[in-house]
Amino acid sequence: MSKFGDYLKTKSFRVNLLLIVVTIFAVVLITFFSLSLYTRHGEGIPVPQLKGLQIEKAMELLKDQGFEYKIDSVYVADQQPGAVIEQDPDPGTNVKENRTIYLTVITRLAPPVSLPDLTPYTYREALATLSNYGLKVGDTIYKPDIARDRVLEVRFSGQPIAAGSKIPKGSKVDLVLGNGEGATEVDIPDLVNQDLDAAKFVIKNGGLTVGTITYQGPITDSANLVVVAQMPMKTDSLSKTPNGTPINLTVTQGKKN
């Protein structure tokens, strides 16, 4: 141990230690400058500002400065179609010549979306649902219905449109809503020759009530009855009746199937 300690105090050790430190430092410097030379550190072409430009102008600018480019598209409502909204690398970044610049452009064509089913919803619920689908509410039209602000019908370009139909994203649809008052008068249905169960269904869903049922002739099968007369009945001079009016029916035995 004393011999090693004596060696550490010798001039020879100090010289060797200095040579080792100098060698390591030289290797680090050579590596650094070689890497900088290889990568052309600090050299390059600054990426131009492309955000906000129309894609044609952006492509022309990149081509003139020796850049390659790739374009992706995205639809953004209420934004100018064809405009660059994102770029990678960022403006001012120094890059090598022929570097590929990635651009995101607002598409000119809105993608189609499926119209959601809005008829179970109120106006507020329909508004939120349409927003989630990228659609908007245009006009609101009220018609008599006891369910206030409930969506009764959806229209697009003035025509009724069914749930699931494809329309451009960002489109406006009109909503037909109930006014909460109900109709004062409703259409009188034509029930003659319908079976009794079907007639009852039409009456109840038409805002009317089932009145007196009169049986005509022998009845052998109560599940097979046909309407032969009604009161009131629809005529040329009478087509509507107050909401809730009872409809009296005369039925007879239906034919066997």
Banded pLDDT at 37 (limits 50, 70, 90): low
Q: Is the domain defined by 186-253 classed in CATH 3.30.10.20? A: yes
pLDDT over threshold 60, residue 1: no
Compute the average pLDDT of residues 201-217.
90
> What proportion of the chain, given as a percentage, has pLDDT over 70?
89
Asked if domains 45-106 and 186-253 share a fold, the reply is yes
> Whole-angstrom Cα distance, residue 114 to residue 126?
14
Residue 212 has pLDDT above 80, yes or no: yes
In this predicted model, what pLDDT tens digit does every residue of 63-76 receive, in sequence order? 988 899 999 888 87
pLDDT for the residue 147: 79
Q: Tell the burial category of 18 from Cβ atoms under 10 Å away from its Cβ (0-12, 13-18, 19+).
A: exposed
pLDDT confidence band for 101 (50 / 70 / 90)? very high
The token pair that represents 246 in the structure block: 């009872």
Decide: 120 and 133 in contact? Cβ < 8 Å.
no
Percent of the chain at pLDDT > 90 equals 46
Q: What is the pLDDT of residue 206?
A: 83
Residues contacting residue 163 through CB under 8 Å, at least 6 positions apart: 114, 115, 116, 117, 118, 119, 154
Q: Model pTM?
A: 0.44
Domain ranges of the chain: 2-39, 45-106, 112-178, 186-253
CATH 3.30.10.20 describes domain 112-178? yes
CATH architecture of 45-106: 2-Layer Sandwich (3.30)
- Residue 135's CB is within 10 A of a number of other CB atoms, namely 24
The whole-chain average pLDDT of the chain stands at 85
